[in-house]
């Protein structure tokens, strides 16, 4: 029973904002007497030692040898512990038990990874972890695969820049065309992720250019360095790969998955990767999507493609995350039979049951593209015999580019809780949610098809990590919801506030809640209404442009004309998309009587005079929400101005700058969208407000 000296230090860089791990957050733990019972040489065990040692050194506590002399015991597999602290043989390695008895806090786990999560649980609870009544709580993640995907490029892309859809500066991994020499920032990031619950990271863009293709080749030693920075925090590294790698790197004439040379090439590539990084996670792939190469070119299906890659990585225990973002991006808006929303289901559902055991089909949460309000993707519910990982977007591509204060915890929580089979219909299926499917609990499945949860990261080399300091809350909330999708997103926000602003006064807490709690709905109010989607500037996806995508080839139409607006996706008269949902949603969405207001224009084309369940006409709803949305932003900005002096000066400066832009942009949105609907409908605002 010893507190060995850790062999690596806790990664720190005082120039970078500590996000939710400021040193002060460790005071409650670090000022106590801590016993570590950790006879384990793994890198994660070493991290537990390093974290405890650093906390004690900073806050005056002491490491004690004997558990009896301790206020806190962190123990791995304590053979002599009381039964409730004992872990059974097949316990989830990430699970931990937190117990408080007679003033002593004990955290036990069967694996150092669980112990690390338990340690961060204590940090999160702060002083509360050590006071109050006796408790015994077992904590385990909802799914073992909780992933962040980075859309970082090595070579700066001429249009997308260093990080595609990145709003927080350059990449933390790459700089000037190479992998950074100093990866301290990556180690800090790993620490933040472990403290939120994420355990897998894909380190390069799913659009894989020539420079990034080399990650599989001569840049492998650099990937190994990145993996080494993640490993101590229990995080597994993955790579995005190009379908064309055998051609680009191997000099083969084809990437046909049925070609023996191609199969051999991928097997060899996998051998090389796992030789360099024995605990490597696997490959993420975007194929036949927005111009990326894929198996279609050879007349093969996506199951053919995914299974070929799966066979190459299977001997190493590797995974293939195969993205379902496959649709026709060269559409003609006049073609009313093609509906982009139907694409993922059409391309993947027919192959359910044919994907290899180590393939995870990664499906965006909505059928279009991370809009402010979309229906949930029916493809997620359509494959009971396939491992499915819903994909989310932490980076705010369509939600204000981390210039607007928009907290997404509530949106994700609603989506994860979406009951695909209804709540009280057929007893065996009702109540199963998107999060259940992710965890392999599809009501028609056998319970073994565990997919996981994935999201696109919002981090860059910005001093605050995320551009807008409040966008850190989204990264934190993503990890926490991936760990427990049923967690209350406002309670998560509260945790984030307490950790990020230690000693936060009531003013700080109330201001942050006032600004962020309803900020997703506020953003929706001043942007695209009623699930209509894509009223953004083409390309950048920032700022209003109601017709920006209306005649483009991307399949993103709302069909507004002088008579009405919205996309008819019904079976009766439209694209038939509603038929992709299980009951009851196939009928709920089909009918104007039951379709929820907020998704009305996603499913139906209606006249401007159509009366919503709220009692308002569509056009009056548009006017009212846009006026109110801006009012809410102005109110948030006012609250901020009043309270800013209570925040650290650097945070205050950055947030003030962001609010100026949010107010400008929200005003723009209000006016552009209102004017658009006024001109199209010819209907005046019932309240006579100024519409330009």
Least distance from ligand GCW to the Cβ atom of residue 363, Å:
11
SS3 137: strand
Alpha-carbon gap, residue 37 to 268, rounded angstroms = 42
Nearer CB in complex with ligand GCW: 113/238: 238
Nearer to ligand GCW, 165 or 387 (CB): 165
Q: Which of 46, 222, 256, 369 is catalytic?
A: 369
Q: How many residues sit in the footprint of ligand GCW (CB under 6 A)?
A: 11
User: Using CB under 6 A, which of 32, 150, 286, 658 touches ligand GCW?
Assistant: 286
State in angstroms the smallest separation of the CB of 666 from ligand GCW.
22
Cβ atoms 236, 281 nearer than 8 A: yes
The pair phi, psi for residue 600, each rounded to 5°, is -55, -50
Among 590, 575, 582, smallest CA distance to 327 is for 575
- CB-nearer residue toward ligand GCW: 137 or 290: 290
- Whether residue 376 contacts residue 308, with contact meaning beta carbons closer than 8 Å, is answered with no
Asked whether 200 and 235 are in contact (CB, 8 A), the reply is yes
Q: Which uninterrupted H or E stretch holds 106?
A: strand 104-109
Distance of closest approach, residue 285 Cβ to ligand GCW, in angstroms = 11
* 164 near ligand GCW (CB under 6 A): yes
- Which residue lies nearer to ligand GCW by CB, 160 or 612? 160
| Smallest distance, ligand GCW to C-beta of residue 160, A | 7
Q: Which is nearer to ligand GCW, 286 or 480 (CB)?
A: 286
Which residue from 397, 524, 568, 624 is in contact with ligand GCW, where contact means CB under 6 A?
A: 397
Among 117, 130, 151, 465, binds ligand GCW (CB under 6 A): 151
521 given a catalytic annotation: no
Active site residue 175: no
Backbone torsions φ then ψ of 476, nearest 5 degrees: -60, -45
Site string for ligand GCW, 203-232 (x = CB under 6 A): ---xx-------------------------
Beta partners for residue 595, in sequence order: none
Q: How far is the CB of 293 from ligand GCW (least distance, A)?
A: 14
150's tokens: 């980075």
Residue 164 vs 462, nearer CB to ligand GCW: 164
Binding mask 16-55 for ligand GCW (x = CB under 6 A): ----------------------------------------
Q: Of 206 and 666, which has the nearer Cβ to ligand GCW? A: 206
> How far is 411 from 209, CA to CA, in rounded Å?
32
Binding mask 60-99 for ligand GCW (x = CB under 6 A): ----------------------------------------
At closest approach, how far in Å is the CB of 571 from ligand GCW? Answer: 28
* CA distances from residue 576 to 233, 336, 409, 567, 569 in whole angstroms, order as listed: 47, 11, 31, 11, 5
Q: Hey, which residues between 423 and 482 contact ligand GCW (CB under 6 A)?
A: none
Q: Yes or no: say if 526 and 492 are a contact pair by the CB < 8 Å rule.
A: no
Please report whether residue 302 would count as binding ligand GCW according to CB under 6 A: no
Minimal CB distance residue for ligand GCW: 369
Site for ligand GCW in 233-262 (CB under 6 A): none
Cα(146)–Cα(93) distance, rounded to whole angstroms?
14
CA distances from 2 to 74, 86, 125, 459, 670 (A): 12, 20, 26, 37, 63
**Residue 335 dihedral angles phi and psi, to the nearest 5°:** -80, 100
Q: How far is the CB of 151 from ligand GCW (least distance, A)?
A: 5
Closest to 287 in 3D by CA, of 316, 315, 308: 308
Of the residues 65, 127, 279, 290, only one is catalytic, namely 290
Closest distance to ligand GCW from the beta carbon of 206 (Å): 5
Question: Which among 164, 222, 397, 568 is annotated as catalytic?
Answer: 397
Q: What is the DSSP string of 312-342?
A: HHGGGT-EEEEE-----SS--TT--S--GGG
**Tokens, residue 188:** 């800090």
SS3 405: coil
Measured between alpha carbons, how far is 529 from 400 in angstroms, rounded to an integer? 15
Tokens 């537990």, residue located: 48
Q: How far apart are CA 434 and CA 390, in angstroms?
A: 8
Q: Which one among 212, 339, 369, 495 touches ligand GCW, defined by CB under 6 A?
A: 369
In the set 113, 142, 165, 248, which binds ligand GCW (CB under 6 A)?
165
Q: Which is nearer to ligand GCW, 528 or 619 (CB)?
A: 528
Which position among 117, 174, 325, 421 is part of the footprint of ligand GCW (CB under 6 A)? 325
The token pair that represents 241 in the structure block: 């790969």
Contact between 495 and 480 under an 8 Å Cβ cutoff? The reply is yes
- List, in sequence order, every beta strand (DSSP E) within 260-308: 282-285
Cα(501)–Cα(539) distance, integer angstroms: 36
- 290 catalytic? Reply is yes
Nearer to ligand GCW, 7 or 537 (CB): 537
Tokens, residue 14: 């005082």
Smallest separation, CB 610 to ligand GCW (Å): 30
Residues with a known catalytic role: 290, 369, 397
Residue ranges binding ligand GCW (CB under 6 A)? 151, 164-165, 206-207, 286, 290, 325, 369-370, 397
């Amino acid at each position: 029973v010893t507190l060995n000296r850790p062999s690596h230090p806790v990664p720190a860089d005082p120039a970078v904002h500590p996000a939710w791990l400021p040193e002060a957050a460790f005071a409650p733990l670090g000022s106590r007497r801590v016993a570590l019972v950790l006879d384990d040489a793994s890198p994660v065990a070493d991290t537990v030692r390093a974290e405890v040692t650093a906390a004690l050194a900073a806050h005056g506590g002491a490491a004690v040898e004997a558990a009896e002399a301790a206020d806190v015991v962190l123990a791995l597999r304590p053979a002599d512990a009381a039964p409730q602290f004992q872990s059974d043989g097949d316990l989830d390695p990430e699970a931990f038990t937190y117990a408080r008895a007679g003033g002593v806090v004990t955290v036990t786990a069967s694996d150092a990874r669980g112990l690390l999560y338990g340690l961060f649980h204590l940090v999160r609870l702060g002083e509360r972890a050590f006071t109050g009544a006796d408790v015994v709580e077992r904590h385990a993640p909802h799914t073992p695969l909780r992933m962040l995907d980075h859309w970082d490029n090595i070579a700066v892309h001429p249009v997308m820049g260093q990080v595609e859809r990145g709003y927080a500066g350059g990449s933390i991994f790459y700089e000037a065309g190479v992998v950074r020499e100093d990866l301290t920032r990556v180690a800090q990031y790993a620490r933040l992720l472990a403290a939120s619950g994420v355990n897998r990271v894909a380190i390069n863009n799913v659009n894989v250019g020539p420079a990034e293709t080399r990650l599989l080749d001569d840049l492998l030693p650099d990937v190994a360095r990145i993996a080494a920075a993640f490993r101590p925090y229990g995080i597994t590294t993955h790579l995005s790969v190009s379908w064309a790698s055998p051609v680009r790197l191997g000099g083969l004439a084809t990437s046909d998955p049925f070609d023996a040379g191609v199969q051999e090439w991928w097997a060899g590539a996998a051998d090389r990767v796992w030789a360099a990084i024995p605990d490597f996670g696997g490959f993420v792939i975007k194929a036949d999507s927005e111009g990326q190469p894929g198996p279609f070119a050879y007349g093969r299906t996506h199951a053919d493609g995914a299974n070929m890659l799966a066979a190459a990585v299977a001997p190493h225990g590797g995974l293939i995350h195969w993205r379902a973002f496959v649709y026709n991006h060269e559409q003609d808006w006049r073609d009313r039979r093609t509906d982009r929303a139907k694409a993922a289901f059409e391309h993947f559902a027919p192959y359910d049951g044919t994907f290899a055991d180590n393939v995870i089909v990664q499906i965006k949460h909505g059928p279009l593209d991370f809009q402010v309000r979309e229906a949930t993707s029916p493809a997620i519910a359509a494959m009971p015999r396939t491992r499915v990982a819903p994909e989310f977007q932490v980076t705010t591509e369509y939600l204000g580019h981390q210039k607007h204060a928009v907290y997404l915890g509530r949106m994700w929580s609603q989506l994860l809780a979406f009951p695909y089979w209804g709540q009280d219909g057929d007893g065996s299926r009702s109540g199963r949610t998107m999060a259940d499917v992710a965890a392999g609990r599809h009501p028609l499945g056998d319970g073994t098809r565990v997919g996981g949860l994935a999201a696109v990261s919002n981090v860059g080399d910005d001093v605050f990590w995320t551009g807008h300091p409040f966008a850190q809350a989204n990264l934190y909330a993503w990890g926490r919801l991936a760990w427990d999708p049923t967690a209350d997103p406002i309670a998560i926000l509260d945790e984030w506030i307490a950790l990020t602003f230690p000693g936060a006064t009531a003013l700080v807490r109330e201001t942050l809640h006032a600004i962020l709690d309803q900020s997703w709905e506020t953003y929706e109010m001043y942007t695209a209404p009623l699930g209509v989607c894509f009223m953004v500037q083409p390309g950048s996806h920032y700022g209003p442009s109601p017709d920006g995508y209306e005649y483009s080839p991307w399949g993103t139409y709302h069909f507004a004309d002088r008579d009405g607006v919205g996309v008819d996706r019904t079976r009766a008269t439209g694209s038939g998309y509603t038929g992709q949902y299980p009951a009851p949603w196939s009928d709920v969405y089909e009918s104007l009587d039951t379709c929820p207001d907020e998704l009305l224009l996603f499913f139906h084309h209606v006249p401007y005079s159509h009366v919503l369940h709220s009692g308002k006409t569509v056009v009056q709803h548009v006017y009212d929400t846009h006026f109110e949305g801006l009012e809410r932003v102005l109110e948030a900005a006012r609250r901020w101005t009043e309270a800013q002096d209570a925040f650290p000066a650097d945070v205050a400066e950055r947030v003030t700058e962001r609010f100026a832009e949010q107010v400008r942009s929200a005003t723009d949105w209000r006016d552009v969208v209102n004017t658009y609907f006024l001109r199209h409908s010819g209907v005046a605002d019932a309240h006579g407000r100024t519409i330009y």
